[in-house]
């Protein structure tokens, strides 16, 4: 789950919990909102941990890259086209 999806779940859960005052038979929207907010917060924490670990494993080459100069020879004829 990405950061955007986590924030979306947090927002929807907060709306269901704090902003709506609707009663639906068999469904407690407050509980659903709290569950969505918990899932969003957990996803945000896991995503943050994943990205912080991924960045710390980046390796940097310490030796410079070797460059070679390529020159075209003009004294050799091109190969025949078949």
Q: pLDDT tens-digit profile of 13-31?
A: 999 999 988 888 899 999 9
Contact 2, 50 (CB under 8 A): no
pTM of the predicted structure, to 2 decimals: 0.62
Q: Output the pLDDT for position 33.
A: 95
Q: Output the pLDDT for position 4.
A: 92
* Annotated domain spans of the chain: 3-56
Q: Output the pLDDT for position 59.
A: 66
Structure tokens belonging to residue 9: 């779940």
Span 21-50, mean pLDDT? 92
| Residues linked to residue 24 through DSSP beta bridges, in sequence order | 27
Distance CA 45, CA 15 (A): 21
Per mean pLDDT, which of 13-27, 49-63, 65-79 is the most reliable?
13-27
């Amino acid at each position: 789950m990405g950061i955007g999806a986590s924030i979306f779940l947090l927002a929807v859960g907060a709306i269901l919990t704090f902003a709506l005052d609707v009663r639906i038979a068999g469904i407690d929207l407050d509980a659903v909102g709290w569950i969505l907010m918990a899932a969003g917060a957990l996803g945000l924490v896991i995503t943050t941990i994943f990205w912080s670990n991924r960045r710390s494993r980046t390796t940097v080459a310490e030796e410079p890259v070797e460059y070679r100069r390529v020159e075209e020879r003009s004294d050799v004829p091109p190969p025949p086209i078949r």
